Structure formats: C-alpha cells, structure tokens
Structure 1
C-alpha cells in the first residue's frame, strides 16, 4: 500500500513526466520554434532571434534591434500498449487472480506549450530581456479501468519559468549572458489503491506546488564572422513541494485503520542541471549548418521520500513516510541540422536528434514509460518584411519499445500486485511563432 501511494508521489516528485514531451526524462524542448525546425541542433550557438534568451543568453548581444517573440507548440502523442498482464495475491480475503482492466493507450491528450520573449539591446555591448516558457510539463489520463491503475492513472504537472536576463559583448568574438530563473511547479496526480477486503478500489490524489530559484548562464564565441560556438549551463533547482494527500474509498481494511482523509504532504526535489554545447557554421549565403550535444544530470533523481503529517497510527503505518529507489542515470542528447535560405523572404530548416532516456528497466512505471528516442524535424521561416518573421515547425519522434515490469507488496507483505506491458510511443509536434522587431 505504501508503494501504491508512492507511485502517485513519484510524478509530483519528478516535477513533470514526459510521455508526450519532445525531450527525455521529464524535460520539454519546446522553448523555440525556430530551434524546433533544426531539432534544436544549434540551440546554444544560433542566436537567430529573441528565443536565444533561453538557448544561450549570451546570444542576445547579436540582436541589433529590440525584438519580441511569441510562440506555441502543440504535441500530439500516440501510445500502443501490448503484451500486457496483471495479477494479484492476497491473504486478507481477496484471494488471487488476474487484475482486470483495459490497455487502450493514447493516454496523452493533445497538449499546448506556450513561450514568449522580449530582448532590448541597450548599446553595442549590453542587452537585456525577459522570457516566459515551460521547461517541464505533462498531462496523462488513462481510461478509468486501466489495468495498471494501481501504479498511476492520472497526472497533470507543469513548471512555468520567468527568466530576466542580461548579456554583455566584450568584443567582436566573445559574449556572455546570465539570467536568474523563477520557477513555479504545481501538479495533480491520482492512482487507484487495490482492495484489501471487499471488491472496490480506493483512490489516492495528491496536489502540491512550490516556487524556487535557479539560473542560466551562457558563453558565445565567434571564431569567424561565419562560425560560432556556444555553451549554456542551466542550474539545478531545489523544490520543497507543499500540498495535500486525499485518500477516499470504502475498503473495510482502510476504514479500520482510519486511513481515509486529507493530510498535509511535503516532498524535497532537485531538478537536474544541464550543459548544452553547439556549433553554428554559415557555409555560404544560403546554407547554415548546426550541431549540438547536451548532458543532463538525471542521476540526481536517486530516490523519492514523501512525508505526510496529521495521520493517526493506523494511517501513518501505511502512508506516513514513504521512500523508493529511482536510480536514474545521466543522459546525452545529440542533434544535427541545416538551414537553407531560398531568398530574402523564405528559409527552410531540418534536423535529426537522438535523446537517451534516464529511466531503467527495474523502476520504470506506467507514469514514466519512456525509452531512448529519435526525432526528425522540419521548419520554415517567412520574412514578409524586415520587421516580421513567422516560424513554423514540425517534429516527429519515435521511441524504442519500452517494457514495464512492476511488482509491489502492501499490508505488511500479505498482499501483492504486479503489472507488465510493452509500450510503443511516438509523437507529432507542431509549432508556430511570430517575431517582431521594433
């Protein structure tokens, strides 16, 4: 039963889970539509528009005019669940057998990811700006009778970041940039609790939020007017989520231990730091090439510890302090891309990316059914005037088949649940943005 509660807590602990995200772990990539067109291959070195505030704040020094950029990415995911099975065994009156339920998949509704940036050059050296974007986010909603419901069946989590930023250009070659980040995380997670006595499931729902600070810093070096390299460091962020746990149902066993009710909950969490490196080379007046790599320190997510307060002795025995090993590992992502300028008004983009998954076969659950993924992207930029740019992008990603093998015991080992399946995940991403220069 502790593990049942923990499966709900894991998602809020992670901050956001990424079944539908176009990045591994629980990260979202959609902070730039122009970057989306090249699979984010030149994210820390391109500095093409105001979205460089996120990609590399040092790149703001390359912008010659005051600029505002607004965009939206829509993500449509598809999941096929195959080879599924689930079983239970209990010495408390439930007996043993096969856990009933469906595996319809496609638990991710179409999701929108907004972004907005403003950059103002003060002179030929200094520039300031502010950005609002969503670095993490998730909505997963399995059908009500999902066979793996005891390991999580509903998740809605998001992180919204505000980043005021400044950049300084030392000379024609070297620029730096820095921006503190103000990060707001909130979420709502639910899962079913298997019956110990009787026949009906109980429910666990957790809601929590917090605001915490971090920072992004970047360096941009221009070897020649046509070749530049950038490196961006995004800091870890320490959260202490405060919220509540609500346990509902009519299981005689939980009624007897007075487990039903609403309780205060808290959770300490570190989201990982990352280092993003890329190179941009303008081959000629028409072709620009991009290459990039990013290291993310997912190994910070070693285990999850949830503290609940205000419970009686019986409820505390089941839902008081919960800990579970996660053992995520650090990951690398790689991307290459190209842009072709047809003429002054039109530019075409494309890119290819590979992203490792930080999860492992031992602890992967239906809440985080992700594996290594590959993505291909296409983009289009239209400049009807010198003041306006419209960016459009499309990405398609697919993952390796991912296996779920979950087992848990509860009620002091007197009852067990298991669920196994194979997930085939893919997603379409669509993006549009408008940039205006004053």
Structure 2
C-alpha cells in the first residue's frame, strides 16, 4: 500500500504514560502507567516510602502533608530524561503490509520544581510544578499498524499550591489543589482503498487540542514512634475535554468521505480522565544509617475503558466496537536508604505495577503490560544548605503480545513487543535556607 509521508519530528514531553485511542474515536480514555519519577531524589526508590518520606519539597507531589517536616525555606529543581525500547515485531497471523514501525519510543526530557516554606512550627506552604502524566509514541509512517496509530502524544503539566498543618507533634495533614494543563495530539493513516477497487495512497488524520483540568491532592502523615512514619495520600481524578476539528488530508475515496461525515468530524470531542489514586507508605529507621521503606498503591483505571468509534474501510461503515477494557491497577514497592557518610545517602528500590489491560486487549497505540521497576540513586551534601542528587530507574515491561482485528473488515494486525523497557535518568539540587 502506498502512503503519504508526514513531517517527521520527535516531540519532547515531560513524562510518559501509554495512551489508547481507536482509529477514529468520539470518546477515548487514558489508560496505563503513571510515572512516579519527576527528577526528584525519590527516583532511586521505585516509589517506596513516597508518602512517608519528607527529605525535600518534592514530597508534596506524593503527600502534601510531608512539607510540615521541612524547616525554613527549601527549593528543589530537577531534570530527567526517559528513553527506551518499544519495538513491534510482526508474526505469521499479521494481515497488514508495511514495516514493523521502528522504535516507537525515543527520548523524553522533563523538569520539575518544588518549593516549601515553614510559616511557623505548625504550618507550611509549598508549590510544585511537575509532569507525571503523559505519552509519546511515534511509529514509522508506513508501518503495518498505521491504520491504528502512527503517532500518539499527550502531555500533562501540573501546578500545585499546597498548604499543610501539624495538628499534633505526630499528625500532619495537607491539601494541594492541582491544576493540569494538557496537550493532546494523534495522527494515523486512513485507508482509501475501500473494497480494494483502486490502489490509492493513504489519507491522513490529525487531531490536536489543549485543555485545563483541576483536581486535588490530599495527605496524612503520622509519626508512629521515633523511628516509624506512616503516610496516606489521595489524588482525585482530573477531567480533560479535548474538542476540535480533525484535519483530514488526501481522503480520496468518496464512500469513506461519506462515513467520516456521519461521525460529525467538524466537532469531535475526546473526553479523558486522569485517574484517582490512593497510596499508603511506611518509613522505618533501623538505626542511624539504615531506613526501610515500603508502599502499596491503587489507581482507578477501570472507569476509563470506553467504547470508541472505528472507521473501517471495508464498506465505509461506522462501528462502535472499540472497547479498551481498562481495569484498576495495583502498585507495591520496597526500598531502603543507607546513610553511608554524614554527607552521602544511597537509595535502592524495587517496584511492581499490574497491567491496566489483559493481554487480549492490548493495542499498538497502548502497548502496556505489568511493569517491574529497579532503581538506585545517591544524594550528596555538597555544602551546608545544598544537596545534589542523581538516580536511575529501569522500567521493565518484557514481551507483550498484540493482536488487533478490524471490526468490520476482519483484517488482523498481529505481533509482539520484545523486551520492552524504559530507562529513566534524573537528577537535581535542593537548596535550604
């Protein structure tokens, strides 16, 4: 099949989560992995103890109550890069022509900024700007799955003012209104060869829009004893609504144009909801050097599995049969901090996240599965009031089979993502005044 070439550019985003969308959807939902890493020192812990630790102002992202543990004024500035391997390999059941798409995930830089200020012995305020929700997938133009997705991208940047109050010496609470500015873009090929009557080049569909959503982060921090702290944090869902007119290029088949007209493409609305989450963490100091950490979490993805609208080129029909079948995900992680010297702290963590889809429901525009995290990092006190930190996380997805069939034409895209993985490298500095 001939294809029209689209401009090639590798777009840069703050963080990633794999996002599913049908070939042409009137309603689609986010689904997949929230990134715990935002460049902060906790990158090296795989999210272990995230709601119970309060080493720097980045704790307000995981638990707003944690900033009551920070003295004076503190500023943490961070940067990171995410890269990896997401490569599709066809198998004998595949019925689409084209190549295998190359590495759909390139590199994704990001940044974050956190500030905390102690007003008095009980009250603290803070502010965070970070990106822990997003996506960037970019396949080759003429790959076998081009009618499902060529490019999918979403970025969500959160702005979070925070207020925390210490009710007793042992119990603190925190609240952080969260404002997320989100950008969405998708691009896919459209098959002009309805009924295979002519050998026509592919058409093109592009859709992009921005929106602002609001939510809230809530947290409790409780000191069980001198060695043990417990943290409980909740983040509400954020509703995002993208509504714009898709750009259609080179759609030369009149039957297909008629079908697209039935979908009302002049006013296409995509509703996306960032999921609500719940996280429980514990931090226990064994002695002056070793601290043991753990977390258990839940993410409400099941609400977001939606019925999409598919444009199939067999008979220019419209079929509402794309069900993403998302389900809730669960997180568990363990880690440790080792204070090797008065100035050097070493972090280690191991984490697991269940998959938001079963193997049979995996899609090439949403190639996700269960994930394992292995992290390590260091924090070094360069001088009084200035710490530097650096961390690395391996996010392992392994082999992920994928088989998708067009509802009306019956054509099947089939293959496997072999050894899929992400690498996250981050670092930054924390100033204390």
Give the alignment's TM-score, normalised by structure 2: 0.87
Shift of 1:84: 2.9
Shift of 1:7: 1.9
Aligned residue runs from structure 1 range 60-75, under 5 A = 60-75=67-82
Matched, 1:124 2:139: no
Does the CA-based 8 Å contact 1:159-1:185 persist in structure 2?
yes
Q: Deviations over 1:368-406 (max 9, x none)?
A: 111111111010101012211111000112113211110
Matched, 1:278 2:284: no
Q: Which residue of 1 aligns with 2:13?
A: none
SS at match of 1:61: helix
Q: Which residue of 1 aligns with 2:203?
A: 202
Aligned residue runs from structure 1 range 53-202, under 5 A = 53-85=60-92, 98-194=95-191, 195-196=193-194, 197-199=197-199, 200-202=201-203
- Which of 214-223 and 112-121 deviates more? 112-121
Question: Following the alignment from structure 2 to structure 1, what is the Cα–Cα distance between the partners of residues 131 and 425?
Answer: 16
Q: Which residue of 2 aligns with 1:332?
A: 330
Structure 1 10/129 Cα, relative in aligned 2: closer, same or farther at 3 Å?
A: farther
Matched, 1:365 2:359: no
Shift of 1:361: 2.8
Match of 2:405 among 407, 419, 426: 407
Match of 1:269 among 256, 269, 272: 272
Does the CA-based 8 Å contact 1:219-1:230 persist in structure 2?
yes
SS at match of 2:326: coil
Does the CA-based 8 Å contact 1:101-1:145 persist in structure 2?
yes
Shift of 1:12: 8.9
SS at match of 2:55: coil
Give the alignment's TM-score, normalised by structure 1: 0.86
Does the CA-based 8 Å contact 2:25-2:308 persist in structure 1?
no
- Which of 323-332 and 162-171 deviates more? 323-332
Question: Following the alignment from structure 2 to structure 1, what is the Cα–Cα distance between the partners of residues 361 and 25?
Answer: 11
Q: Any stretches of 5+ residues in structure 2 without a counterpart?
A: 1-19
Shift of 1:157: 0.9
Does the CA-based 8 Å contact 1:57-1:165 persist in structure 2?
yes
Shift of 1:258: 8.2
Question: Following the alignment from structure 1 to structure 2, what is the Cα–Cα distance between the partners of residues 11 and 378?
Answer: 42
Shift of 1:366: 0.4
Structure 1 26/398 Cα, relative in aligned 2: closer, same or farther at 3 Å?
A: closer
Question: Following the alignment from structure 1 to structure 2, what is the Cα–Cα distance between the partners of residues 6 and 254?
Answer: 23
Q: Any stretches of 5+ residues in structure 1 without a counterpart?
A: 18-24, 88-97, 309-316
Structure 1 123/248 Cα, relative in aligned 2: closer, same or farther at 3 Å?
A: same
Q: Deviations over 1:184-237 (max 9, x none)?
A: 111110111222142221111111221111000000000112210000000011
Question: Following the alignment from structure 1 to structure 2, what is the Cα–Cα distance between the partners of residues 13 and 187?
Answer: 12
SS at match of 2:161: strand
Question: Following the alignment from structure 2 to structure 1, what is the Cα–Cα distance between the partners of residues 388 and 24?
Answer: 41
Shift of 1:40: 1.3
Question: Following the alignment from structure 1 to structure 2, what is the Cα–Cα distance between the partners of residues 403 and 8?
Answer: 19
Shift of 1:163: 0.6
Structure 1 255/367 Cα, relative in aligned 2: closer, same or farther at 3 Å?
A: closer
SS at match of 1:207: strand
Does the CA-based 8 Å contact 1:30-1:113 persist in structure 2?
no
Aligned residue runs from structure 1 range 364-403, under 5 A = 364-403=362-401
Shift of 1:11: 12
- Which of 30-39 and 45-54 deviates more? 30-39
User: What is the alpha-carbon root mean square deviation over aligned residues?
Assistant: 2.5
Shift of 1:111: 0.5
Aligned residue runs from structure 1 range 12-23, under 5 A = 13-15=28-30
Structure 1 362/191 Cα, relative in aligned 2: closer, same or farther at 3 Å?
A: same
Match of 1:428 among 397, 417, 423: 423
Q: Deviations over 1:249-279 (max 9, x none)?
A: 2433347638489722112332211101110
Matched, 1:287 2:290: yes
Structure 1 204/426 Cα, relative in aligned 2: closer, same or farther at 3 Å?
A: same
Q: Deviations over 1:67-118 (max 9, x none)?
A: 111111211111343343565xxxxxxxxxx422111531111101211111
Does the CA-based 8 Å contact 2:26-2:270 persist in structure 1?
no
Does the CA-based 8 Å contact 1:11-1:189 persist in structure 2?
no
Structure 1 82/267 Cα, relative in aligned 2: closer, same or farther at 3 Å?
A: closer
Shift of 1:427: 1.5
Question: Following the alignment from structure 1 to structure 2, what is the Cα–Cα distance between the partners of residues 67 and 9?
Answer: 47
Q: Which residue of 2 aligns with 1:20?
A: none
Question: Following the alignment from structure 1 to structure 2, what is the Cα–Cα distance between the partners of residues 26 and 373?
Answer: 9
Question: Following the alignment from structure 2 to structure 1, what is the Cα–Cα distance between the partners of residues 224 and 310?
Answer: 52
